[in-house]
Amino acid sequence: MLYHLYEAQRSLMEPLTDFAQAAAKLYSNGTPLSHTPLAQRMAAGYDLLYRLGKDYEKPEFGITSVKVDGTDVVIQEAIELDKPFCQLRRFKRFTDQPETLQKLKKQPVVLIVAPLSGHYATLLRDTVRTMLQDHKVYITDWKNARTVPTTDGEFHLDDYIHYVEDFIRHLQAEYGNCHVISVCQPTVPVLAAISLMASRGEQTPLSMTMMGGPIDARKSPTSVNNLATNKSFEWFENNVIYRVPENFPGAGRRVYPGFLQHTGFVAMNPDRHATSHYDYFKDLIKGDDASAEAHRKFYDEYNAVLDMDADYYLETIRTVFQDFLLVEGTWDVKAADGAVERVKPQDIRGTAMLTVEGELDDISGSGQTEAAHELCTGIDDGKREHYEVKGAGHYGIFSGRRWRELVYPKVQKFIAANDAPQSRAGEALPADETLLAAEDAKPVTAATPAAKKVAAKKVVARKAVAKAAVAAPVAAPVAAAKKKPAARKKAGASATR
């Protein structure tokens, strides 16, 4: 019933927020009202009211290009796999520079497992953008449970683990193997997934990097841990689980609503948020556009939350924060065929491990992530590392200056040290046969007219897709390529998958 009341309140507030947005523009966009006394304060007040009351939709990643050795590389997002509760999203890199292409094709493949704990995967935008400089990047993009019809079934913690296994197998089939990075909540199910694969004798990732996660939530408990331990399982089931209202595709699904999760986030530091909004009001009055825009970007992400399926949420509470099944060695996971398997981290042997913690992390306390080393006893000492980031809070280990300057160099070096040749890595295309090629493009040879014809037939469908996806960002390279019609004709079609 609470979810329905919240939606009713949001619907009633919508006209007011629309009015506040319009009024803010009337007092600031050169209209007669903008020249009245106190116009700046009125505009700032209405703008703040609008942002406090508006509905925040899922943000975009918005990564269109990155620099690799000073060269602009175009980024195209693509959905590699689409499951009921998650999409495997790829950030594919394109370039027309043969030297850069050669480098991109041989770089490590990384699966970033984003948290399913209230925020969207776009919270890791800075993580993805930085990783793209030196890696082929995929990320788990979890769906809002209220958009998933009940006909798609429930989503359990076991299903989360199986999703991770499927994504790893997909990348192994595509490239031979991959590296896995888990940030916060997914450290536990990712460790379980790799443990199960190792126990079955399956190929495991080359490395796993676990950052700020509750592997052992008993160590240095934070307010998040205390809430989970001070309340009973039944309390969570009776007080935070509601059914999705009728105006969403997932109507009737039992969920932990995003708005309750957001309320919990704000309640952890209410003074800090109140100060931040007041500072935003003052920045608008002063005309400090840079500070105001920084505030908007942060809260556009922070206020965008999703619903989690009730079964997954409740099972996570019990498994990770109440019964500590992973560290107790008593966690059993049900496979798709109904078989029960015990999670045994000690069975992991061929996967290198790096754990990262923030010195000032108030979400996952000190020692919680490092505890993975006590469990993964089968990994040689030379293949494991731990890194504590001085002065970093929870978000600082995967976003912002400390992530880029301190954490990423460590992660990049660790992955590079444990990488292996890819099964589809090849030589770069000859310069006169390259129009626009992707990082996973297979080599194109044209030694004979027949070979040219076969190559052209194989890529003709892909050429149109690649050119359309990158037409605007790569106008200059394409224009330059057009100056060599003879070379392009010789190549036939060189835009590759």
Q: Note the pLDDT tens digit of each residue in 373-394.
A: 999 999 999 999 999 999 999 9
**pLDDT of 78 strictly over 50:** yes
**Contact status, residue 100 vs residue 68, Cβ threshold 8 Å:** yes
- Give the closest residue to 204 by CA, choosing from 212, 213, 195: 195
Q: Is the pLDDT of residue 361 over 80?
A: yes
Cα distance between residue 54 and residue 8, in whole Å? 14
Confidence at residue 285, expressed as pLDDT on a 0 to 100 scale: 94
Q: Which has the closest alpha carbon to 175: 138, 141, 146?
A: 138
Which residues have CB under 8 Å from 368's CB, separation 6+?
213, 214, 215, 216, 217, 219, 220, 357
Q: Look at the chain and count its residues.
A: 497
What are 205-234's pLDDT values in tens digits?
999 999 999 999 999 999 888 888 899 999
Alpha helix stretches (DSSP H) within 303-404: 310-316, 325-328, 372-375, 401-402
Q: Answer yes or no: are the C-beta atoms of 273 and 327 closer than 8 Å.
A: no
Q: Which segments of 3-85 are extended strands (E)?
A: 65-68, 71-83
Q: What whole-number distance in Å separates Cα of residue 402 and Cα of residue 392?
A: 7
pLDDT at 479 over 70: no
Distance CA 134, CA 102 (A): 12
The mean pLDDT value of the chain amounts to 87
7 pLDDT band (50/70/90 cuts)? Answer: confident
Task: Please check whether residue 460 is in contact with residue 493, taking contact to mean a CB–CB distance below 8 angstroms.
Answer: yes
Split at pLDDT 50, 70, 90, the class of 436 is low
Summarize the confidence of residues 160-184 as an average pLDDT: 97
Check residue 406 and report its DSSP letter.
Answer: I
CB neighbours of 209 closer than 8 A, spacing ≥ 6?
A: 179, 180, 181, 182, 353, 354, 355, 356, 411, 414, 415
Return the bridge partners of 281, or none.
none
At residue 208, what are phi and psi to the nearest 5 degrees? -135, 130
pLDDT band at 10 (very low <50, low <70, confident <90, very high): confident
Domains of the chain: 2-55+258-302 (no CATH), 65-240+307-417 (3.40.50.1820), 431-491 (no CATH)
For 251-298, what is each residue's pLDDT tens digit?
999 999 999 988 888 887 899 999 999 999 999 999 999 999 999 999
Write out the two tokens for 108: 């490590």
Phi, psi torsion values for 247, nearest 5 degrees:
-85, 15
- Give the per-residue pLDDT at 462: 40
Which pLDDT score is estimated for 335? 87
Confidence bin at 107 (pLDDT 50/70/90): very high
Q: Based on the number of CB atoms within 10 Å of its own CB, is 120 exposed (0-12), middle (13-18) or buried (19 or more)?
A: buried
Q: What is the mean pLDDT of residues 33-62?
A: 92
Q: Is the pLDDT of residue 195 over 90?
A: yes
Tokens 């948290």: give the residue: 115
pLDDT tens-place string over residues 488-497: 333 333 333 3
230-261 b/e (C-beta count within 10 Å ≥ 16 → b)? eeeeeebeeebbbbbbeebebeebbbbbbbbb
The residue among 156, 161, 123 whose CA lies nearest residue 302 is 123
Nearest of 407, 398, 327 to residue 182 by alpha carbon: 398
